Amino acid sequence: MAAFKLPKYAAMLVMAVFTLYFLTPLWWLFVASGKKDGQVTEGSPLLPDHFALGANLADLFHYNDGIFLRWMANSIGYTVGAALLGTLLAGMCGYALAKYVFRGRELIFNIVLGGVLVPATALALPLFLMFSKVELANTFWSVFLPSLVNPFGVYLGRIYAAASVPDELLEAARIDGSGEVRTFFTLSTRLMAPAFVTIFLFHFVAVWNNFMLPLIMLGNERLFPVTLGLYSWNTQVNQHPELRALVLVGAFVSLVPMVIAFLSLQRFWRSGLGAGSIK
């Protein structure tokens, strides 16, 4: 019996070691951002002593007229807005590609699929030049509009629509006299709801993490997303040492919305990632 249990212990040990690897840095970030007066190296590095997270948060939120909260709001605006609208558009396109036969269907699908392979960073520079031409660089729209496009969402949308919306049902809706667009919004979207959540999550992460586009596009720090804001603080740490503590507290706070989104929607991650690997 003991020999039989050995692989189980070994497996659990491996899992425990990797859990430490993945979670220790995050725990350190939490502890460090709570250190009193920003003394990161004070006391124990992995135990919350000299703990004054509340005071540090107050410093963070008041620094430079509350610019950090503004960055958080910007990030949420760019991300939630672009992901909501982008998911609907990608879902509609994927749905049409799955459920209708029309000339150019495969061509459109292949071009969009090619778009998945185009590195987004290769687009940032030409987008900046184009937005400069129409004098829209360094505006909210210069980051928001390009963020709406999610070719991978079209790919996922097509797979899901093909799998979850039966043709017979659409045929029945037609016989009942429902128009195609109305059928989509009243019937198909309901069947595709888990798919929409998954596409939304992928899109949300992609926009939230996007760095090159805002870095190239934005000069006005009041328009920065939180990632770019933290980055700009971090580059100034040598001239302004007080920013070091704010960078760490800010980094910690910036993770909160994402972690909440992850924990509350985690079952959709699994189904979505599974579908992504079907092909």
Partner 1 sequence: MKRHASAILFFVTPFGVLFALFYLIPILYAVWQSLYTVKRTGTFGPATDVFGGLVQYREVFTNGPFWQSIERVFLFGIVQVPVMLGVALFLALLLDSGLVKGKGFFRLAFFLPYAVPGVVAAIMWGYLYSPNLSPFTAVTASADLLSPSFVLWAMANVVTWVYIGYNMLIIYSALLAVPTEIYEAAKIDGAGVFRTAWSIKIPMVLPAIVLTTVFSIIGTLQLLAEPQVFRSFSSAVSSTYTPNLTVLSTSAVPNFHLAAAFSVVLALATFILSFAFLKVTQRKGVQ
Q: Which of residues 108-147 bind partner 1 (CB under 8 A)?
A: 108, 111-112, 114-115, 117-123, 125-130, 145-146
Q: Which helix (H) or strand (E) holds 180?
A: helix 180-183
Stretch that binds partner 1, among 14-22, 57-65, 66-74, 192-200 (CB under 8 A): 14-22
When binding is defined by CB under 8 A, the residue of 42, 46, 66, 242 that contacts partner 1 is: 46
Q: Smallest gap, in angstroms, from Cβ of residue 3 to partner 1?
A: 13
CB atoms within 10 A of CB 240: 10
When binding is defined by CB under 8 A, the residue of 1, 3, 7, 107 that contacts partner 1 is: 7
When binding is defined by CB under 8 A, the residue of 3, 22, 135, 177 that contacts partner 1 is: 22
Alpha helices in 35-164 (DSSP H): 53-62, 67-99, 105-117, 120-133, 140-147, 151-164
Question: Which residues on neighbouring strands pair with residue 51, listed in sequence order?
Answer: 35
143 touches 220 (CB < 8 A): no
82 touches 207 (CB < 8 A): yes
Q: Could you give phi then psi for residue 35, rounded to 5 degrees?
A: -65, 135
Distance CA 54, CA 253 (A): 12
54 binds partner 1 (CB under 8 A): no
User: Footprint of partner 1 on residues 215-244 (CB under 8 A)?
Assistant: 215-216, 227-228, 230-231, 234-235, 237-238
User: Footprint of partner 1 on residues 55-84 (CB under 8 A)?
Assistant: none
163 binds partner 1 (CB under 8 A): no
When binding is defined by CB under 8 A, the residue of 42, 100, 193, 240 that contacts partner 1 is: 100
